[in-house]
Amino acid sequence: MTEIWKPVAEVPRYEVSNLGRVRIGKTTLKPWAKGRNLRVNLRLEVGRDARSVNRYVRGLVAAAFLPPRPSPLHAVQLKDNNASNLAASNLYWGLTKRASRLVAAPHHVPPRAPAAVTPLTKAQDWNSLAKRFAANQRKTG
């Protein structure tokens, strides 16, 4: 398989390949692991006040070589569950765990936040209590 390089959309001077490698110029970046996922550090600007961002390699490969993300519920998944195999042929858009639970149980409605309760003044509180219990009180006299 021949290696095809495409520019990274966020920082065009970086390139990502269909085999899951990232480079700047002729230098290939070495990804580092965070948990199971491989990341690279991309410098957004050049110079003294340069900022850098960390990006998942599989996200960069997917953005360059896969079709657009179908929905916000989809994330980049690995076909063979091998986190070091980041070739474009091994990636696909799949539902996240949370999204798959929502799709599997569409009748489930997450609980709503409780309604905001406004504090009552003492006069309002006493008046409402008096009205509520007026019917239940026996008149004496």
Q: Where are the domains of the chain?
A: 5-104
Provide the whole-model pTM.
Answer: 0.66
- Comparing C-alpha atoms, which of 78, 79, 75 is closest to residue 93? 75
Residues 6+ apart with CB under 8 A from 114: none
Q: What is the CATH number of domain 5-104?
A: 3.90.75.20
More confident residue, 30 or 48: 30
The pLDDT, as a whole number, for residue 46 is 64
- What is the band of 3 on the pLDDT scale with cuts at 50, 70, 90? very high
Confidence band of 125 (pLDDT split at 50, 70, 90): low
- 5 neighbors 16 (Cβ within 8 angstroms): yes
* pLDDT value of residue 9: 87
